């Protein structure tokens, strides 16, 4: 497999669409579509830039989960607090800002930050990290009028039940599973 060229076909506000021309293992040229949150200047840029992070947050033995309406699936799903890195922003600054904007909570302590991984390898080069953190404070709604988010702390028993019946983002589902198993 060899990428031959890349062409931007759409420049949206949040996503850029690209067509990749590649040579498959049979030697035939094919076209593949991807989206990126970042401006890509060439094939060498694909998958190189970190876009943001997800936050696996705990407080007094409870896991922070967001119930939020997600336009891409037209339903409410359980998700982690997450967001995009702003220009010049550190991971810690991004964690603090996203926690405040989406929940009103404050960062108490960063436990760990995993190296960036790909969020949707079939369609995007988006790379995000997962931060593990202790948080504190009271819930407040600081979201924009374009977001619908309910933030809450959940016990292990509550999360165990949610895993049986609720819709999750994949990262939130994995974090919730390991939380129930006592690994968080």
- Band of pLDDT at residue 86, cut at 50, 70 and 90: very high
Q: Where are the alpha helices (DSSP H) in 29-181?
A: 91-103, 156-165, 170-180
Predicted local confidence at residue 50, as pLDDT: 92
Predicted TM-score (pTM) of this structure:
0.91
pLDDT, tens digit, 9 for 90 and up, residues 37-49:
999 999 999 999 9
pLDDT, tens digit, 9 for 90 and up, residues 129-156:
999 999 999 999 888 898 999 999 999 9
Q: Residue 59 in contact with residue 151, Cβ under 8 Å? A: no
Residue 174: pLDDT above 90?
yes
Rounded distance between C-alpha atoms, residue 23 and residue 10, angstroms: 23
Strand order in the sheet with 16-23: 2-11, 16-23, 29-36
* Residue burial 74-108, b: 16+ Cβ < 10 Å; e: rest: eebbbbbbbbbbeeeeeeeebbbbbbbbbbebebe
- Band of pLDDT at residue 184, cut at 50, 70 and 90: confident
Do strands 50-59 and 127-136 pair parallel, antiparallel, or not at all (unpaired)? Answer: parallel
Which range, of 14-23, 52-61, 89-98, 142-151, averages the lowest pLDDT? 142-151
């Amino acid at each position: 497999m060899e990428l031959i060229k890349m062409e931007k076909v759409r420049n949206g506000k949040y996503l850029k669409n690209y067509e990749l021309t590649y040579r498959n293992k049979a030697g035939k040229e094919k076209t593949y579509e991807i989206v990126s949150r970042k401006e890509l200047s060439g094939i060498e840029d694909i998958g190189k830039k970190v876009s943001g992070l997800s936050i696996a947050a705990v407080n007094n033995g409870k896991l922070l989960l967001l119930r939020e309406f997600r336009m891409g699936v037209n339903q409410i799903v359980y998700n982690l607090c997450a967001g995009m890195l702003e220009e010049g922003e550190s991971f810690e600054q991004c964690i603090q800002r996203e926690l405040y904007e989406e929940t009103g909570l404050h960062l108490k302590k960063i436990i760990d930050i995993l190296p960036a991984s790909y969020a949707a390898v079939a369609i995007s080069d988006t790379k995000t990290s997962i931060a593990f953190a202790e948080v504190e404070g009271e819930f407040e709604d600081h979201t924009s009028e374009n977001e619908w988010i309910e933030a809450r702390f959940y016990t292990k028993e509550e999360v165990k039940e949610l895993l049986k019946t609720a819709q999750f983002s994949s990262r939130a589902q994995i974090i919730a599973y390991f939380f129930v198993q006592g690994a968080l």
